[in-house]
Structure 1
Amino acid sequence: MKRSAKWLGNLGVLVALAAGLVVWIMLPRWGVLAVAVLLGLWLVLTRSGRLALAATRVGIASLPQRWGASSVIIVGIAGVVGVLVAMLAMGEGFAETLNRTGDDDTAIILRGGSQAETNSVISRDQVPLVSSLPGIAQGSDGRPLLSPELSQVISLPSASDGSDVNAQLRGVGPKAWEIRPQVQLVEGRRFEPGLRELIVGDGAHQQFSGLDVGNTITIGNQTWTVVGRFESGDSHESELWADAEIVASTYNRPAYQSITARLAGGGMQALKAAMAADPRLKLDIETTRSYYSKQSEGLTKLIKVLGTVIGAIMAIGAVFGALNTMYAAVAGRAREIATMRAIGFRGLPVVVAVMLETMLLALLGGILGAALAWLVFNGYTVSTLGSNFSQVVFSFRVSPELLWSGLKWALGIGLVGGLFPALRAARLPVTTALRAA
């Protein structure tokens, strides 16, 4: 009966610790600041706090004598923070790349109920109907700024190992340049309508081989010439652009997949209302910012979940490393702790002192892991599959928010890893500790 009660009590403590760790990691900055201020006031203004500070200084002074064991905590927690921040930086970089692709001044039109271009079909006779609707901006020639487009997944050799990987060939209309002014040529020229010519994004140029300006490549059993390279600072840099009509004829595509249009002032509501009033246009419309943000949600959530799970698994290992190290430290300092207890240090100052020492080591590990993640991964360029199963080139983004989250994880691990050794130090009988030493 006593054994069961003890087991249930230990289980309750573990559950409470896990819940507390979750709350701590989710705590906003003002909450962490409030906790730090309250702890600082307690340490400075109360007798127990001042005793805890004195005991902490004694423990920190002895760290050089057990630096090897203490480094286990630092390295373990640095690994947790580094991996966690790197994983989350990948998701944040992917989301930021897609979020930069759209804005609130352009709209994308898809077939009603379609979630992406890949499952959308817009017939050719619907294009002139859409172009005559209100809400679409006019170009310098007085014509509507809209581009009927289609997307084709093609296979190209990877620049890294030569293996075939998916790429996105986008067929665009003549107005695509005015609709997307962020697309700027950095080499070569634009493709000529009616010819099998390509311009390639800078990300695609890095990701795939054979895309230098002047090269010819085979796509859809046809020979295409690369005539230009562009930068856009968004996911379009992962694409190859060509004349929509030539892409359609090459792949026998009788319809388009989407229409991208630049909106006039307040044009979204007018365009949406006009489309809804025409029964021939069973189409959906949203801003490109909203569309590309939705495209990134799934993968971003997956990366965040995987990063958190992997970080949690590694955190468990780091907690056990901290437990072993601090238990050994408490055992090695048994006489020192017993002496402090004998001269008037109560249990609470001893507990706080051991935990502060552990959290200091954890903070050092967190800073080390965060610094390594920032130095190694911030701006590191990779590619992954987008919603159309083509490669999207993007860069890791190690933001201050991610570094802050990593430090909170480090302190949380230190809190859990130092608690039980701290309680053991406080409960250590003075006479037993002095005899054992």
Structure 2
Amino acid sequence: MKRMKKFGFGLLTLLIVAAFLVVWIALPWQGIVAIAVVFALWMALTRRGRQTWQVTRVGLATVVQRLGSSSVVVVGIAGVVGVLVAMLAMSDGFAETLRSTGNDRTAIVLRGGSQAELNSILDRDSANVVMQAPGVKKDAQGRPIASGELVVVANLPRKSDPGSDSNVPIRGVSADVWSLRDQVKIVEGRKFTPGLRELIVGKGARGQFAGLDVGRSIRLAGQTWTVVGEFVSNDVLESELWGDTQSVASAYRRGSSVQSVTVMLDSPAAFDTFKASLAGDPRLKVDVSTTQEYFSKQSEGLTRVLRAVGITVGIIMAIGAVFGALNTMFAAIQARAREIATLRAIGFRGIPVVVSVMLETMLLALLGGVIGAGIVWIVFNGYTASTLGANFSQVVFRFHVSTALLWTGIKWALAIGFIGGLFPALRAARVPVTTALREL
């Protein structure tokens, strides 16, 4: 019978923990604040609440005496939160870099079935048909604002490891690219001259690769190219080198074909008309999307991997932190057994004891979460890194430690504190007073 009761109690405890985690993960910050306010009112206005506060004060007063063991909880949870937030900041930064590259005012056309520009090819006739389609905006001379583009990959030495080469994308663009991508600004030097072997380099690429300073010459495809300018765009385009489409096509023997056509639309509402006209043209077999949609899709695969890795590593570390909290709080309760027993003997019920132990653990966890999240924000927010993109070339991006990610880290810390404090708290409340007094 006792075994059945223990089994039932254990099962009930696990259900409580599971329900807490499900609800906690789903709660927005407003819900957490509301719970905190209700809890504070309970402690201030009820007898049990005031007892809880008294027991908690006694426990917190002894934290300094237990500094070594308490720091295990703080440091362990700070590590969990730090790793989790850093990985999610990497994922969000990469996705944000690609999402910010496109918009709903421009559309990109690839060969049907192509997943990325490197997998696509469009002959010159098909590119001309795309540029003349309904919905494409015209300039003052009545010419469509469009850019037939090539993307090729070259190997250049990395600044961080001169003996190792990495892939860098070289994009061939037309003169209309400055109207299509008005976020691109020349910050040093000048624009390339069409027809010449001149390049402009993105700020991100210049920071990652050697030999890309303005005025330098580099060898690509067996030919000498001159770097004449540097541009910024605050998106994935900063990872690229740009040159004239015809010059890039000639150097890499691509003939008159292009890999994609990017067009300016009359308005975002014109996209459906533009797409329908191309889908209904028997001469073409193409995929059409807004540039916003295209670049967002390019980030999905790696973003999912980074988030999955971050959460998996976070869970593994969180399990270790939970056991650390359990050991710390069981030891603290053992050291305070006479004190807790005395409180219960003079009228303090089990609920104040349980809540006070859990509150102490969650406060330590909160401290660890704030430290971990704060360190990541200071060190990594805006930190520049690079990784392989969907087109197997270097993509330079910045970590983005948002308020939402910091809040996620704090929620994880409090969840660990809740689980780590629950079982020691229940044990403290269930030990008979006479037994606790007799053991010491």
Q: Give the TM-score of the pair, scaled to structure 2.
A: 0.95
Aligned-pair identity in percent equals 62
1:106 alignment partner AA: T
What is aligned with 1:180?
A: 181
Q: Which secondary structure state, in structure 2, belongs to the residue aligned with residue 161 of structure 1?
A: coil
Superposed CA offset, 1:45-71 (max 9, x none): 332222111111111122122122111
Q: Whole-Å Cα distance in 1 between the matches of residues 347 and 322 of structure 2? A: 31
What is aligned with 1:148?
A: 148
What is aligned with 2:66?
A: 66
Deviation of 1:38 after TM superposition, in Å, equals: 3.1
Deviation of 1:132 after TM superposition, in Å, equals: 1.8
Indicate the larger mover: 51-60 or 266-275. Answer: 266-275
What is aligned with 1:127?
A: 127
Q: Which runs of 5+ in 2 are unaligned?
A: none
1:134 alignment partner AA: P
1:432 aligns with 2:435: yes
Deviation of 1:154 after TM superposition, in Å, equals: 1.2
Q: Which secondary structure state, in structure 1, belongs to the residue aligned with residue 124 of structure 2?
A: coil
Superposed CA offset, 1:324-361 (max 9, x none): 11011001111110110010011111000100011111
1:68 alignment partner AA: G
1:362 alignment partner AA: A
User: Aligned match of 1:343 in 346, 364, 376?
Assistant: 346
Deviation of 1:11 after TM superposition, in Å, equals: 6.3
What is aligned with 1:374?
A: 377
Q: Which secondary structure state, in structure 2, belongs to the residue aligned with residue 125 of structure 1?
A: helix
User: Aligned match of 2:414 in 405, 411, 434?
Assistant: 411
What is aligned with 2:322?
A: 319
Deviation of 1:319 after TM superposition, in Å, equals: 0.5
What is aligned with 1:206?
A: 207
What is aligned with 1:51?
A: 51
Indicate the larger mover: 7-16 or 372-381. Answer: 7-16
Q: Whole-Å Cα distance in 1 between the matches of residues 122 and 23 of structure 2? A: 49
Deviation of 1:229 after TM superposition, in Å, equals: 0.7
2:176 alignment partner AA: K
Deviation of 1:81 after TM superposition, in Å, equals: 0.6
Q: Do 1:334 and 1:433's aligned partners in 2 also have CA atoms closer than 8 Å?
A: yes
What is aligned with 1:169?
A: 170
Q: Whole-Å Cα distance in 1 between the matches of residues 221 and 246 of structure 2? A: 14
Q: Whole-Å Cα distance in 2 between the matches of residues 66 and 137 of structure 1? A: 71
1:260 aligns with 2:266: no
What is aligned with 2:79?
A: 79
User: Aligned match of 2:390 in 384, 387, 392?
Assistant: 387
1:300 aligns with 2:303: yes
Classify 1:159/1:330 alpha carbon distance in 2 versus 1 (closer, same or farther; 3 Å). Answer: same
Q: Which secondary structure state, in structure 2, belongs to the residue aligned with residue 286 of structure 1?
A: strand
Q: Do 1:216 and 1:226's aligned partners in 2 also have CA atoms closer than 8 Å?
A: yes
Q: Whole-Å Cα distance in 2 between the matches of residues 11 and 352 of structure 1? A: 20
Indicate the larger mover: 330-339 or 105-114. Answer: 105-114
What is aligned with 1:287?
A: 290
Q: Whole-Å Cα distance in 2 between the matches of residues 264 and 76 of structure 1? A: 56
Q: Which secondary structure state, in structure 2, belongs to the residue aligned with residue 261 of structure 1?
A: strand
Deviation of 1:44 after TM superposition, in Å, equals: 2.7
Q: Which secondary structure state, in structure 2, belongs to the residue aligned with residue 153 of structure 1?
A: strand
Q: Whole-Å Cα distance in 2 between the matches of residues 431 and 185 of structure 1? A: 80
Superposed CA offset, 1:130-178 (max 9, x none): 2222211122443111000011111110010111101101111121111
Deviation of 1:10 after TM superposition, in Å, equals: 4.1
Q: Give the TM-score of the pair, scaled to structure 1.
A: 0.96
Aligned residue pairs total 437
The alignment yields a C-alpha RMSD, in angstroms, of 1.8
